[in-house]
Amino acid sequence: MTIEELRGQLSEVDRTIVDAIAERQALVAEIGARKLEAGRPLRDFRREKEVLEGVRDHAAARGLDPELADEILRLLIRASLEQQEHARVSAAAGGSGRRALVIGGAGKMGRWFADFLHAQGYDVEVSDPAGPVAGYGFVAPATWDGSGGASATEVPEHGPALAPGQAPAHPLDHDVIVVSASLAASGIILTRLAHLRPPGLVFDVGSLKSPLRPGLAALADAGCRVTSIHPMFGPDTRLLSGRHVLFCDAGHPEATAEARALFDSTMVDQIEMPLEQHDRLVAYVLGLSHALNIAFFTALAGSGEAAPVLRGLSSTTFDAQLEVATRVASENPHLYYEIQALNDHGDEALRALEAAVADVARSVRDADEPAFTRLMTTGRRYLEARP
């Protein structure tokens, strides 16, 4: 058989694989519909384990690498869950005619929330100095924020956005208002909204709460239905299974419950925590991890060694760290600066990082193997205690 004939057979096999995937997705859609009708959970971890174990065994029996089969099936399971989750979110919409406004909707996370609310049946509008977003209605910021079209950072933070008794040109009478701007701008926007007293649910999606607390407090004092959430994922997230959203009550428990209900049809893990506790924990979860990776690629960039050369002789640990550092380096540096600089507890995590690096350096420079061993042993015990 010639190479061309073999390639023809290979192409036929590829088409068969695609056909099988399409058939699998059709079955998944039917199973998802049955689960929805019966009120059963979207994800069955025991069933997933059985499927993966069975595929690995079958792959080994056929002389195929079980790891390859496992990786392919996990990708298919993820696609199936995305399909079922999207169907469930859409089914929960109910076509109620509810309206939502995403302030900062032209940004990546703002667009994510616009799409998310749209999938739940909301008539979504965005308000952003960058202009309209395709597929959604547009509310010019100047019609409600009193800025005359300037960006939030160009308008004084203090004082009402509108003159006393003056109504905005565009009434903010939406059922839900999401504030998804930069941290500095979000604090100003929340304060402006407090003067406007919108009747609907208002929440921010900020990674930090320190710069937002005055605005959140002003909204609560104005009697608004306000809460604060933190999606612990990026705007490229499609499947919420295994992801977390933090909910921080801002003085209106009913508003927090209403915000949580927006995610009830998804598989996201909902975590409530006090507003005062959020930033101290985030200083380690985000601040410390970001700083560690920024220090890592800064050290590499200043080493004088070319990145391709280092990657060519790298280790498993280096490759894994480089992959994470690459993702961090591609993020918005202004947002990452805000996460470091605007957190009231940020310096605590940075000091801990400085002290840890100093301990490692000291143990090596002093040829103190017992001290170095203690560092690794303590770290291992800490990490083994994770659930």
Beta strands in the chain (DSSP E): 99-103, 123-127, 137-138, 176-179, 201-204, 225-231, 244-249, 269-272
Model confidence pLDDT, tens digit, residues 197-247: 999 999 999 999 999 999 999 999 999 999 999 999 989 887 777 789 999
| Pair (306, 283) in one structural domain | yes
- The neighbouring-strand residues paired with 246 are 230, 271
| Pair (111, 247) in one structural domain | yes
| Pair (47, 151) in one structural domain | no
Q: What is the CATH number of the domain that holds 128?
A: 3.40.50.720
DSSP state of 288: I
Residue 137, SS3 per DSSP = strand
pTM: 0.75
- What are 296-300's contacts with CB under 8 Å, separation 24+? 296/321, 296/325, 297/325, 297/326, 297/328, 297/329, 300/325
| Pair (231, 105) in one structural domain | yes
C-alpha–C-alpha distance, residues 329 and 308, integer Å: 17
DSSP state of 163: -
Measured in whole angstroms, the distance separating CA 327 from the mean position of its chain's CA atoms is 14
Q: What is the CATH number of the domain that holds 305?
A: 1.10.3660.10
Could you tell me which of 323, 268, 326, 325 has the C-alpha nearest to residue 292?
325
Model confidence pLDDT, tens digit, residues 92-120: 655 557 999 999 999 999 999 999 898 88
| Pair (181, 112) in one structural domain | yes
Range of 226's domain?
Answer: 99-273
Domain count, the chain: 3
Model confidence pLDDT, tens digit, residues 332-355: 899 899 999 999 999 999 999 999
pLDDT at 154: 44
| Pair (22, 84) in one structural domain | yes
| Pair (122, 244) in one structural domain | yes
pLDDT at 149: 42
For helices 45-61 and 66-91, the axis angle rounded to 10 degrees is: 150
